[in-house]
Amino acid sequence: MIQTIIPLRDLSNKTSQVVEQCERSGEPIFVTRNGYGALVVMSMEAYQTRMAQLDLYQHLLAAEKELADDKLVPAEKVFDSINEMLENAKVQD
């Protein structure tokens, strides 16, 4: 992954070009102010993908913690619970 770094003035002068580059590459663009990192610009698609990945990683970490803490529920018990909920929903209809 090649990182693109641009000064803030380029962002304000070339907004549409920056948007096109973000969409085309799918990678973020790092914006600096006075030589220091100030912003990260990315396409909405790239943002949503990264947020979905973060959500998945958080769920995996929680599952690993449950595994380490020995708090797992056997699959059979989970499926029994789901079946019971479905049967209760049918009775209420």
Taking only the tens place, the pLDDT of each residue in 19-46 is 999 999 999 999 999 999 999 999 999 9
* Tokens linked to 90: 């049918």
Tokens of 89: 């929903």
How far apart (Å, rounded) are the C-alpha atoms in residues 22 and 40? Answer: 11
Portion of the chain with pLDDT greater than 70, in percent: 97
Q: What confidence tier does 12 reach under pLDDT thresholds 50, 70, 90?
A: confident
pLDDT at 93: 60
pLDDT (0 to 100) of residue 35:
92
DSSP 8-35: HHHHHHSHHHHHHHHHHH-S-EEEEETT
**In this structure, are residues 32 and 8 in contact, taking their beta carbons and an 8 Å threshold?**
yes
User: Would you state the pLDDT for residue 30?
Assistant: 94
The DSSP secondary-structure symbol of 2 reads P
Question: The pTM is what?
Answer: 0.62
Cα separation of 77 and 83, whole Å?
10
